[in-house]
């Protein structure tokens, strides 16, 4: 196949893909969008924002001062 025919075929395929419009199931889309409580959104809302590291906290640490000196 020559370059001209190959390019024309590629152009035709690209045009077909660009303007291809599959049929849309609007009732399924409406059901999906109107469904408010999904297991995924519930799972993320129950998790705390930050993990609790209090069991690893040094009970003798001085919280107000930093012992390291920069200089």
Q: Dig out the tokens for 2 from the structure.
A: 């020559």
Q: How confident is the model at residue 15 (pLDDT cuts 50, 70, 90)?
A: very high
One DSSP character per residue, the chain reads --HHHHHHHHHHHHHHHHT--PPP-HHHHHHHHH----HHHHHHHHS-SS---GGGS-TT--SS-------
Please give the model's pTM, rounded to 2 decimal places. 0.31
**For range 43-52, the mean pLDDT:** 67
Look over the chain and give the mean of its residue pLDDT values, rounded to a whole number.
77
pLDDT tens for residues 23-35? 888 998 899 898 7
**For range 37-57, the mean pLDDT:** 67
Q: Dig out the tokens for 62 from the structure.
A: 């001085």
């Amino acid at each position: 196949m020559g370059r001209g025919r190959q390019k024309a075929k590629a152009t035709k395929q690209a045009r077909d893909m660009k303007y291809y419009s599959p049929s849309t199931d609007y009732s399924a889309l409406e059901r999906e969008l109107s469904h408010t409580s999904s297991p995924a959104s519930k799972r993320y809302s129950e998790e705390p924002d930050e993990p609790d590291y209090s069991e690893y906290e040094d009970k003798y640490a001085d919280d107000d001062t930093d012992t390291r000196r920069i200089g």
